[in-house]
A and B are shown apart, each in its own frame.
Chain A
Amino acid sequence: MARLSVVGADRDTASVGADLRVESVTHVFETAGGSLMALKDVSFAVEAGTFVGLVGPSGCGKSSLLLMMAGLLQPSEGQIAVGGNIINEPKPEEIGVVFQELSLLPWKTARENVEFPLYLRGVDRLMREKAALEMLDLVGLGDFADRRPHELSGGMKQRVAIARGFCQDPEILLMDEPFAALDEQTRMTLGDELLHIWDRHKKTVVFVTHSLTEAVYLCDKVIVMSARPGRILKEINIALPRPRTYEMMATETFGRLRADIWSLIRGSDRK
Chain B
Amino acid sequence: MSEHCVTEAEVAGRRRRGPLLGPVVLRLACLGAILLYWELAPRMEWISPVMLAPLSETVTTGLAEIDVFARNLAVTAGSLLIALALALGGGGVAGLMLGSIRPLRVTLLPIMSSIYAVPLVIVYPVFTAWVGIGVESKFLFGGLYGFFPMLLATAAGVQTVDARYLVAARSMGATRTQMILHVMLPASLPSIISGVRIGSAMAAIGVVVAEMMAATAGIGFLITQNRTMFNTAEVYFGVFLVIVLAGTIDWAVSMLERRAGAWYPQKVRTL
Known: A72-B167, A92-B173, A117-B172. 16 other contacts (CB 8 A): A91-B173, A92-B171, A95-B171, A96-B171, A97-B171, A99-B164, A102-B164, A107-B186, A107-B189, A107-B263, A117-B173, A121-B173, A150-B263, A151-B1, A151-B4, A168-B172
Say if the beta carbon of B18 comes within 8 Å of chain A.
no
| Residue on B nearest A70 in the bound complex, by CB | B171
| Residue on B nearest A148 in the bound complex, by CB | B263
Q: Once bound together, how far apart are the Cα atoms of A239 and B133, in whole Å?
A: 86
Q: Once bound together, how far apart are the Cα atoms of A107 and B162, in whole Å?
A: 13
Q: Which of A72, A148, A151, A153 is the one whose CB lies under 8 Å from B170?
A: A72
Contact status of A116 and B186, CB under 8 A, knowing A99-B167, A105-B165, A151-B4: no
Contacts of A106 in B (CB 8 A): 263, 265
Q: Once bound together, how far apart are the Cα atoms of A213 and B85, in whole Å?
A: 59
Say if the beta carbon of B31 comes within 8 Å of chain A.
no
Number of A interface residues in the complex (CB < 8 A): 29
Let me know if B265 and A103 touch, CB within 8 A: no
Say if the beta carbon of A49 comes within 8 Å of chain B.
no
Let me know if B1 and A90 touch, CB within 8 A: no
| Residue on A nearest B4 in the bound complex, by CB | A151
Query: On chain B, which size bracket covers the interface?
Result: 20 to 34
Let me know if B173 and A150 touch, CB within 8 A: no
Let me know if B168 and A99 touch, CB within 8 A: yes
Say if the beta carbon of B178 comes within 8 Å of chain A.
yes
Main secondary structure of the interface of B (DSSP, over half): helix
Q: Which of A72, A105, A121 has the most B CB atoms < 10 Å from its CB?
A: A105
Say if the beta carbon of A259 comes within 8 Å of chain B.
no
Q: Once bound together, how far apart are the Cα atoms of A121 and B186, in whole Å?
A: 19
| Residue on A nearest B268 in the bound complex, by CB | A150
Let me know if A105 and B173 touch, CB within 8 A: no
A107-152 with Cβ < 8 A to chain B: 107-108, 116-117, 119-121, 148, 150-152
Contacts of B167 in A (CB 8 A): 72, 99, 103
Contacts of B172 in A (CB 8 A): 90, 92, 96, 116-117, 120, 168
Cβ contacts A to B, 13 pairs, < 8 Å: A71-B171, A72-B170, A72-B171, A91-B173, A92-B171, A92-B172, A99-B164, A103-B164, A103-B167, A105-B187, A116-B182, A121-B173, A153-B1
Tell me how far the C-beta of A85 lies from the nearest C-beta in chain B, rounded to whole angstroms.
Answer: 15
Question: What string of 1s and 0s marks CB contacts (under 8 Å) between A243-271 and chain B?
Answer: 00000000000000000000000000000
A161-211 with Cβ < 8 A to chain B: 168
Say if the beta carbon of B174 comes within 8 Å of chain A.
yes
Q: Which of B170, B171, B172, B187 has the most A CB atoms < 10 Å from its CB?
A: B171
Let me know if B4 and A150 touch, CB within 8 A: yes
B98-123 with Cβ < 8 A to chain A: none
Let me know if B178 and A120 touch, CB within 8 A: yes
Let me know if A103 and B165 touch, CB within 8 A: yes
Contacts of B182 in A (CB 8 A): 105, 116, 119-120
| Residue on A nearest B179 in the bound complex, by CB | A120
Q: Once bound together, how far apart are the Cα atoms of A218 and B172, in whole Å?
A: 25
Tell me how far the C-beta of B192 lies from the nearest C-beta in chain A, rounded to whole angstroms.
Answer: 13
Contacts of A72 in B (CB 8 A): 167, 170-171
Tell me how far the C-beta of B141 lies from the nearest C-beta in chain A, rounded to whole angstroms.
Answer: 35
Contacts of B265 in A (CB 8 A): 106, 150
Let me know if B170 and A90 touch, CB within 8 A: yes
Contacts of A105 in B (CB 8 A): 165, 182-183, 186-187
Q: Which of A99, A119, A120 has the most B CB atoms < 10 Å from its CB?
A: A120
Contacts of A150 in B (CB 8 A): 4, 263-266
Q: Once bound together, how far apart are the Cα atoms of A27 and B266, in whole Å?
A: 43
| Residue on A nearest B174 in the bound complex, by CB | A120
Contacts of B165 in A (CB 8 A): 103, 105
Q: Once bound together, how far apart are the Cα atoms of A99 and B178, in whole Å?
A: 20
Contacts of A156 in B (CB 8 A): 1
Tell me how far the C-beta of A152 lies from the nearest C-beta in chain B, rounded to whole angstroms.
Answer: 7
Q: Once bound together, how far apart are the Cα atoms of A268 and B228, in whole Å?
A: 87
Contact status of A152 and B186, CB under 8 A, knowing A92-B172, A99-B167, A106-B263: no
Question: What string of 1s and 0s marks CB contacts (under 8 Å) between A83-101 and chain B?
Answer: 0000000111101110100
Tell me how far the C-beta of B9 lies from the nearest C-beta in chain A, rounded to whole angstroms.
Answer: 16
Tell me how far the C-beta of A190 lies from the nearest C-beta in chain B, rounded to whole angstroms.
Answer: 16
Q: Once bound together, how far apart are the Cα atoms of A116 and B187, in whole Å?
A: 15
Q: Once bound together, how far apart are the Cα atoms of A103 and B171, in whole Å?
A: 11
| Residue on A nearest B165 in the bound complex, by CB | A105
Question: What string of 1s and 0s marks CB contacts (under 8 Å) between B1-44 and chain A?
Answer: 11010000000000000000000000000000000000000000
| Residue on A nearest B173 in the bound complex, by CB | A92
Contacts of B174 in A (CB 8 A): 120
Let me know if A90 and B173 touch, CB within 8 A: yes
User: Lowest 4 A-B CB distances belong to which pairs?
Assistant: A92-B173, A107-B263, A150-B265, A103-B168
